[in-house]
Amino acid sequence: MPKKVRSHKQLASLKGIIRTMWLISGYSGRKICREFNGNAEYVKEYGTVSESSVGDWIIEIRRDSEKWLDEDALEKYTGEFVRQQHIIDNRMEELQDACVLIDWKTGDPKEKELYLKFQRTIHEMSMDKIRLMTEIELVLRIKKLNKERRLKNETLTLLDDDGKPIKPKSIAEERGYANN
């Protein structure tokens, strides 16, 4: 089957779908590929996607998100993260309180089944909490540290031997693209 060529407009909307699956749904590259290729509407409109192309687009999304994620958004994002953690903690406590009320050792089979469902849900919520911490908290801390480091380095001025500031070369000059 020949490779389907996507227009610029189609590619932009395809990347938007992948961005949503990755950022909001929290899917991995493999799961995005499976979900996308499993959706008949997406395949009909955009064709199938490979795991390598999804991985490349995720790298591009990460790079782009560093540009539009400013400090206010970072703090708001951190606040949302903390709020989500509190919600998970509260729901886990509520389920644990309900588990204490169930007499699962001597009760009827329905109570045992309910107890097991609650325990499974508590376990899934704790796994979600761990996933949140690994996926969001670490990334946020690294971004904040990188931003602080960049701000610190931007305020430093290099001096030559005479104590005069050295004008940094632009990237184009360093690569030899600009005329001197």
How does 80-119 read in b/e, with b if 16+ C-beta sit within 10 Å? ebeeeeeeeeeebeebeeebeeeeeeeeeeeeeebbeebe
Tokens of 150: 């960049």
Domain that holds residue 148: 71-155
Same domain, 40 and 112: no
Residue 100 lies inside a defined structural domain of this protein: yes
The residue among 47, 68, 89 that closes a domain is 68
- pLDDT of 2: 45
Residue 119 lies inside a defined structural domain of this protein: yes
SS3 177: coil
The residue among 68, 85, 117 that closes a domain is 68
The residue among 17, 38, 68 that closes a domain is 68
In whole angstroms, what is the distance from residue 144 CA to residue 140 CA?
A: 6
Same domain, 76 and 145: yes
How confident is the model over 122-179, as pLDDT tens digits? 999 888 887 777 666 666 677 777 777 777 767 667 777 887 877 777 666 766 666 6
Same domain, 41 and 15: yes
